[in-house]
Structure formats: structure tokens, C-alpha cells
Chains A and B, each alone.
Chain A
Amino acid sequence: MPNYDAGHYFLSSLIPIQAGQIQENSLEQGPIDQDPLQEIPSRKPPLRRRIASPRQSQQPISHLHALREILAVLPRQNAALDPSRAGRDRGATASEAATAPFSRDLRTHFCRLVVIDDLTFVGRQHQDPIITTLRRQNPVIPKPVDHLPCAFLALILEFDAPDGSRQALRDYLHDLWEVMAEELTEIFQHCVGFDPARPAESFLRQVLDGQLETTFSFNDYYWQDKSPLLNQWPRVRRPPLIVAAIAIPLLFWLGPAGGLRWLLLGLSLLALLFWCYRRILKVGMEPFPAAPRSDLRSLLKGLYLQRKFIDFMIANQGVSAETLQAEFLQFVHDHQPRSVAAPTQPPGSIPA
């Protein structure tokens, strides 16, 4: 199943963006400010205004514009971990929004949000002058040009999942909503089908309704260099061979004579071929097995260990075997290579 491979779910979803404009002050309000000193809880302004443009526009703005603005300022990595990048992303200046929202869920490997305006028109279709003339068509009149009915938001996600079922996807989206409801509201309120009264359910519905089959998934962590089909080739090959080895001699010895024998032989060969074809397709749809330790938490730990081990190597160049062993035991004690939980590299950062 192409949506799921080697332990990872590859989600592609196209969600239509609302056409037209909106008065900014009618947009969804931000979350309730939980400041205990305030007697009456107030509402924060929406995220986009907090991290992008604090001034509220008096003009109507288009959904597309507002959506692009929030996407542009959404933090893409956790700035605090990399001081040399601090302040480069405008979003990083507001401390409350300085964490990359997709890093809050420890299953998400990659996420990409892209606005697709329309199909690209690359010129008129070529028309064969002879065929056009024979069909009595007028070549001067251009052929119709395809357009998308509206702009779409493409949501591309890769995350750890137990299997490729619809339920696995629902569970993940549910967890994602738990950790980044505010950002998701800010984004998906500009898409068709968002319901402010039931935001979580409508978000789930929007993504599921827009899901396309991911036919060209990109996985970095294959570990078997043969596909399951090749691995299972003996299993695929053996049954038809056995059937053929028994059926063909039987037909010749016991079956009817003459043309009917050949007909039966031909039919049974066809049936065998069809069976093989179905079998190959079925095996081909099976996902690759998940590579060991290819979930995000293990990968983060792997990166962490790699960095620490280089430091360890540099610090212990040329030491005696005894010291090296003692230092390595200390290294294992300090960095717990078998523990995925901690110490590890925090998600959403690219350390130098």
C-alpha cells in the first residue's frame, strides 16, 4: 500500500481554500489567556497577529493572503537551540510561538504545507494539421484550458504509524490536534469545511476528505535492499510450478484426446498465468518491513549519539587502552545509548 511503507505513513492531502475575502476582526479569536492575575479571562489575539503583523487591518483581506501570511511566519525550527539563527525567522521573536509546532509531536518526521494556486498553462496543445482538417475542425479556435476550481492547500506529512489503516491516520491527526490546535485552527479556518464550533472534528474531516493516495513516497530508512516481492519470490513461484508439473502430465495421460486436450491445456495455462499475476500484485502491495530504530525518537537519539561520540573520539585520541575503556564506560553511562527517552536531541532543531 503506497500510503504506508517501512513503518512510516505518507500522507498527501489537498484541501480547498476558501475563495473571497473576510473582515479580519471576524476571524476566529485566539485562545483564552490563562493569566491567574486577571479576574476575567480575556482572549489573546489570533496567532497570526501575534507573530506576524500585530496591527489589525481595516481592509477586508483574502483568505489566501491570510493563509500565506500565517504559513510564512510559522516557526520552522526551534530557534532557542541554535543561537546563531535566533532572530532570523521573524516568528522566533515572539517567545510564546517560538517552537516549531510540528516538533511538538514526536512522531512527525517531515511536514510540508504548500499553496497551489492553479495549473500551469504551458501553451496550446499541438494539433496535427491533417487530422484537424479531416475532422473539419478550425485550428484557429484554441482548445479549452484546464483550471483548478479554487486554490488548494497541500498538506504533506510523514509520520511513524503502526500500519497504513485509516484508524492509524485518525489517531495521528487526533494527537496532532492535541499539541497544535491553535496553529491548525489558524491555518485550516481559511480552508473549505472548517467549523469553528467543532474545530477538531472539522479539521479531521478536511484532511481525510482531501486525502490522495501517495504513489511516490520517499523513505530514507529502507534496510533490506530487496523488495518483499523478490524476498518472497520462491513462495510466489513454487505453487504454479507444482500445479503445472502435476496437471500437464495428467491431462496428457487421462484427459480427452485431440483438439479438446489442447484447449484444456491452453485454458489451464491461462488460469495459471492469471493466478501468478494476482499473486505478484498482492505481494507487491505489501509494505517493506520497518527498519529497526527508524522511528523519530530513535533517530533523534541516533543523531545525538553520533554527535557525542565524535566528541568522545576527539577527546580520547591517543590515550591508553585502559583509559579508553574507562572513558567509554563513562560515555555509555552518561549518554545511555540504549535509552531512547533521554538524554537525546530535542526535535525541531538542526544543531551545527
Chain B
Amino acid sequence: MHRKLDLADIQGNILHAYGRTGFPLARCILLHVNQGRAAEARLFLDDLRHRVTTAALWRSRHTENLPPDAITAPKPDVAINVAFTFPGLIALGVPVRTLRGMPDEFQEGMLRRAPILRDVHDPHQPITQLWDPVWVAELEDQRHCVHVLITLYANASPEQFDSPRAALDASYQQLANQCGEDRGMKILRGHRGPGDTYQDMAVLAEPFKEHFGFSDSIGDPVFAGQYADEQRMQKVVRGQGKLTANQEWVPLATGEFLLGYADEAQEIPGAAMPNDFSRNGSFMAYRKMHQNVQAFDDYINHKAELYARIHSLDQEEARETLRAKMVGRWSDGIPLMHAPTYGQWQAERAALAAMPPGERELYQGRMLREFHYGDDPDGSRCPFSSHLRRSNPRDMLDPTTLQPGRGEAKKATSVLNNRRRILRRGLPYGQSGPGISDQEEHGLLMLVICASLFRQFEFIQQQWLQYGLDFDAGNDTCPLVGNHDDRSKFVIETAAGSGKPPFICDQMPQFVEVRGGAYFFIPSMTALRLIAQGLVDPT
């Protein structure tokens, strides 16, 4: 029995991936609380909080099953959300007794934890050169310290607004007019890219692809209370919740993603006091990740020649297979666990195209998400070291999974993975393609949401993406987003008895570079009111 979540108290970006629900354009703004003007800054927030988008249900096809008297909200033109860094909470006057209950990693912040996260991929370059100035200016001058993040997502549904760009600009301008050196807050400068005072992101021309050409944001954890509609929950939980010993998919504990609820350890973890300050809030890691698209394509083309020769494939087949082996999914999202070879992938595509639309959607949803690695104990379908397997190992870390011949693989659960799940929000930024150099601004703005940055986000980043021990891969890092030096490699396993040796990708250039980021606290609407009114009372 789960108590229903108080959706109107939870900020909408925690429960919704706006980019997938008709908000294709977005803008991130970083603000600084001017010294000695905390009261004015709180007034600004007190005004803003009435416009903040909550998780309250929007009228959509999913609300049709609700009773007629159920209250739903209209879909906003621009979804506004707000989050704070630790120095931001200090600047806004949150009492020390509350602040000391905040987790260590949040207090230290991403910039100081960059060595732990291995966010400096080139040891010869200081972080001040690698990251966008807006994130590192505070090292020189505290008056540039990032305090507040406001995200704006513009609605593009035709009935709402003609131009999402105009709505975004108008909303931004309204905020900018309230900020300045002589006001409570100022907008910080120093984002690389077209806008100096903001970071834009947008769904690419081919929807839901990222710059390397893969379909992105296919799976996301599903937790108790996330969907009011039980039927919908039953549908989405498969492959996205947790896998039990009877091989059922059930929702993860709410406390893995929202503060103030029991988590997978079956207890409510400690959080900053008072309870109503933390409850229904969460933490977010903001990551600006530059993608070296040219370098990635060049590398794949180069390695595909050798791969084609060894495995007797044609160049295109080898190219697509290498890309898929690195990621764990083919470029259209079909997982290697479902279609391990190029031929099977093509057959799957043809079968999908032949299905009637309603049936296709249902089948595709399950096929893309519902699989486990117990069926692939030697990594010959989906390499151990592939990005997909590293970032969400599902049942593969269960000790019974990796013992072929014991006949227990089918009973493996996801229990060692359940406390390392993250909600992924965010969108690509910039443009890439033929003739656009890697020096240009393009990549993915990743917004990671979880209840414990340390246990969930940082663990995945440090232990699973930047290290390989859990995947029997030694020091090897993730072939896609890991740091690569001249000894980095990526092993593509082959099935025993196939007669083919494993293929090793070596000399990988850096494909993804972190360009900035920070840790934020996403308060509930109650906590936002407490902060804005200066009423946080930890006693």
C-alpha cells in the first residue's frame, strides 16, 4: 500500500521528462544572490514560486480515466522550475542547523568533487579552461558563485502557443527584468555558446536522438507513486522498475527519488531538518557534456574496417555493429539483448514496420525496455563494458547471473542495482553534423535527479562509468562517456565456440567532455515557500 504522492507539492521536473511530453525547447539560467540583498532575493522567489510548475496532472489522454471531479491543471506555456546550490541556500539565509543536515557531496559541490568524478579528462588542462566560465568564475571571485538554477521549458503543442521560442524569450525576459546588480539576484554570465547569460537546449531535428545519432532517453526508473493511473503503471514498470526473485517488475521505492520517503533500504534516510523542508524535494546533478561527434564518427569508420575484415562483414554492417556494441543499443534504440546481430536488427525493423500502429507501440515499448542480462552471461550479445550495461546493469551484478551452467541465471534479481538508479532529464544542445567541427558547441545537457547524489549519481559515474571492476573490465572506462588515455580499450566479447576472437577497440579519443555543472537541491513547493519567506525553522 502506497500513500498517494502530493503531486501539487512536488516540482514537475522530478516526475516529468518535459522534453518527451511536448516541451522541445528549454533554457537554463544561473543566478547569484547579491551580497546583502537576501531579503530582496527572497521577495523575487516569493513572486516566482506561484509560477513554478508542479507535478499536478495536466489534462491529457492519460487523465481521461480519472473521475470527472478530479482536479487537473492546464498544460503551461512555459514550465518553470527552480533549484539551489548549497552556497545559494546559505546566501538566502537558510539556518545553519538546517544546512548541516545536507549531504556532504551537496555541500562540497560538483566543482570540488571533479577529481572524484574524474571530470577533468585531460590532466594537462586546468578545470578553469575545460569548464564554461560561468561554473568556475567563483574560484576567482565569490560574487560569481552559482546560487540558483531556473529552468524554462517551452510548450510546443499547437493549441497552446504558436511559437515556443517566443514564449521562452518572453519568459526569460520577464525574469531578466527582475534581476540585476542592484536587485536581489543577478543573472550570471559565462555560458559558452550562443547565449552568454543562459544555456539553451532543444530536441534535435530528428526527435529524441542525441548528437552521436542514437535514440536517447528510452528508459527511466519507475517508482511507487509516480503514476496515479494503475494501468499505466503496470505498463511502464516492466523493464524500468526493479526485478524481483519471481522475475516480476515492480516499482522502485519512492525514497530513491524523493526525500522524506522510505527508500530501497526500507527506511526513511536522514535529511535536512525540518521534515517539511526536505520532504518531496530531491537533488539534481547538472552536467554539460560536450560531444566530439567528428572524432566519434572518424574513430568508428576507422575501426570498422578492421572489424569488417575479421568478422567478414561489409563496411556499413561493421560500422553499425561497432556503434551498437559500444552503446548496447542499435541507433534506433533496439537493444542488443533483443537483436544481437545486424541481420536480426534489420529483421526486427522490418517486422515492426509491418505491424499495425497500436500493436507496434505496445510491442516496441516492451521490446525496448524489458530485457535482462541473465540471458547473456558471457557478454557475447551486449558487451559487459557497453554504455547501457554499465549505466544500468539490471540483474547482471547478481552473483547467480554470471555463473553459466548453474541454471540459476533466470532467478537473478536487480537488488544490487536498485540503489543506483537515476532519473534522467535534459536535452541536447547545439548543432552537429557534416562540416561542423568538434570545436563548436554541441552535446547533451544531462540533468540527473536522485535522492542521494553520493550513492546514486556519483557511484554510477565513478565506479561504473570511469572504472570497470564490476564488469570484469579492469581499469577500462565506459567506451562512450568515460575518460580515455592511450591505454584505454573496449573489449567486444564473442561467444565461446564462435571461432572468432574478442575484438578490442584501442586508442580511443575522448568522445565526451564535461564542460561544467553543479549539484542542486530541488525543493518542494512547501520548502520553496519556507525559503522565500525566510521561515525555515529547524527547531
Contact = CB atoms under 8 A, between A and B. Distances in A.
Given A313-B504, A317-B504, A352 B489 contact: no
A131 interface: no
Nearest to B308: A318
A84 interface: yes
Contacts of A352: 475, 485, 487
Contacts of B506: 314
A3 B489 CA distance: 41
The SS class assigned to the A binding surface is helix
Nearest to A315: B506
B155 to A, nearest CB: 49
B358 interface: no
B306 interface: yes
Contacts of A318: 306, 309-310
Interface in B451-481: 475
> Which bracket fits the contact residues of A?
under 10
Nearest to A352: B487
Contacts of A313: 501, 504
Given A314-B506, A317-B306, A352-B475, A84 B123 contact: yes
A122 interface: no
Interface string B187-208: 0000000000000000000000
A310 interface: yes
Contacts of A84: 123
Interface string B145-167: 00000000000000000000000
Interface residues of B, number: 12
A314 B489 contact: yes
B503 interface: yes
B36 to A, nearest CB: 41
Interface in B491-516: 501, 503-504, 506
A154 to B, nearest CB: 27
A310 B502 CA distance: 11
Interface in B253-307: 306
A81 B487 CA distance: 15
Interface string A301-319: 0000000001001100110
Contacts of A314: 489, 504, 506
A310 B475 CA distance: 13
A352 B484 CA distance: 12
B503 A317 contact: yes
Interface string B300-337: 00000010011000000000000000000000000000
A310 B489 CA distance: 10
Interface in A302-348: 310, 313-314, 317-318
Contacts of B123: 84
Contacts of A310: 489, 504
Contacts of B306: 317-318
B352 to A, nearest CB: 34
A317 B503 CA distance: 8
A308 to B, nearest CB: 12
A84 B504 CA distance: 25
A90 B489 CA distance: 32
B310 A317 contact: yes
Interface string A75-100: 00000000010000000000000000
B157 to A, nearest CB: 51
A313 B306 CA distance: 14
Interface string B369-387: 0000000000000000000
Contacts of A317: 306, 310, 501, 503-504
Interface in B53-69: none
B84 to A, nearest CB: 34
B314 to A, nearest CB: 16
A352 B485 CA distance: 10
A251 B326 CA distance: 76
A325 to B, nearest CB: 14
Contacts of B487: 352
Interface string B99-142: 00000000000000000000000010000000000000000000
A314 B506 CA distance: 7
Interface of B: 123, 306, 309-310, 475, 485, 487, 489, 501, 503-504, 506
The 6 closest A-B pairs by CB, nearest first: A318-B310, A314-B506, A314-B504, A318-B309, A318-B306, A352-B487
Given A317-B504, A318-B309, A352-B485, 16 more contacts: A84-B123, A310-B489, A310-B504, A313-B501, A313-B504, A314-B489, A314-B504, A314-B506, A317-B306, A317-B310, A317-B501, A317-B503, A318-B306, A318-B310, A352-B475, A352-B487
19 contacts: A84-B123, A310-B489, A310-B504, A313-B501, A313-B504, A314-B489, A314-B504, A314-B506, A317-B306, A317-B310, A317-B501, A317-B503, A317-B504, A318-B306, A318-B309, A318-B310, A352-B475, A352-B485, A352-B487
